[in-house]
Structure 1
Amino acid sequence: MPYRRKKYHDGDTHLKKQWRTKRRRKDLDEINEDMKVENAEKLLKQEVDLDKPGGAQHYCLHCARYFIDGHALQDHFKTKVHKRRLKALELEPYSIEESERAAGKGSFESIKKRKIETQPQDGIISPVDVGVVKDGDISLN
């Protein structure tokens, strides 16, 4: 007869938090703060830092990742991971007012969607790159 299967992961409770947070990235609300014009310009025009990949010169603002060169960054813009992140950033982050409306204090408002495009090649973000979509019309924040 076959032997009983051994349970190797019985005593790994002290490691579970490390596994969950090993490759943790910025959350969507943190990236939303980074997408503001003044913060975006600082992130896209960083000083050379040799501890970061590519000297911190090739940064994806929406995914909060550094790349080794411009070619790797351009390839990243075509990936499913980047496109998924752009789709997730279309919805505005939750606010205190929205949580109060969900609790029954206030009236319902429809979900606001923004039009998010991949960052420009020259690394300069303009207010046109981040807009609000309402009923098919685009308006600026």
Structure 2
Amino acid sequence: MGRLRRSRTHRAQRDVHRASRTRARTKDLDQIQLIDLDPKNRAKLEAQELDYEKPGLAQHYCVECAKYYETDSALQSHWKSKVHKRRCKALKEPAYTIEESELAAGLGRDDRRAVATTPDTAMSQ
């Protein structure tokens, strides 16, 4: 008896990274902080018109997570979940701005930094 032969067909491995790149993305935290959490925009998002293309006809929307839910009970249970509470906690922190990234790279000037005392002013005190 000989050994067992493998199948002759080549099975391609799943591209896990491609799946994460092509998945539908939600809004980033800075987009939600700057646009959606504004009281005027928040009221518009919470009271949307009927949209047959969106889940739950766009009537059950979580502004902090930027997600639509099928039913009101699903939205209520989402508000109690760890995922929603984590997202709300992350939204309380200030958004990371371009100016901060330039300062971290050493390209900008920090105006908030305390003015260093020169030797002349230190002796006069």
TMscore range, shorter length: 0.5 to 0.7
**In percent, how many aligned pairs have the same letter?**
48
- Superposed, 1:55-66 pairs within 5 Å as 55-66=57-68
Residues 7-52 of structure 1 deviation map (CA, whole Å, 9 limit, x = unaligned): 741xx56x84344231422111221221112221211111011221
Distance change >3 Å, CA 108–CA 8, structure 1 → 2? farther
**Match of 1:125?**
none
Q: Which of the two has higher C-alpha Rg?
A: 2
1:82 is matched with which residue: 62, 81, 84?
A: 84
Does the residue aligned with 2:96 lie in a helix, a strand or coil? coil
* Off by >6 Å, runs of 4+ in structure 1: 1-4
In 1, the alpha carbon distance for the partners of 2:63 and 2:40 equals: 13
More helix by share: 2
The equivalences for 1:1-141 within 5 A come to: 8-9=12-13, 16-32=17-33, 33-104=35-106, 105-107=108-110
- Structure-1 separation of matches of 2:21 and 2:102: 31
Aligned length: 105
- Compare the two structures and name the one with the higher strand fraction: 1
Give the TM-score, by structure 1 length: 0.61
Q: How far, CA to CA, are the matches of 1:60 and 1:99 in structure 2?
A: 30
**Structure 1 counterpart of 2:115:** none
TM-fit CA distance, 1:65: 0.8
Conservation of the 8 A alpha-carbon contact between 1:101 and 1:108? no
Question: RMSD of the TM alignment (CA)?
Answer: 2.9
- Structure-1 separation of matches of 2:27 and 2:92: 16
Consecutive unaligned residues in structure 1, runs of 5 or more: 110-141
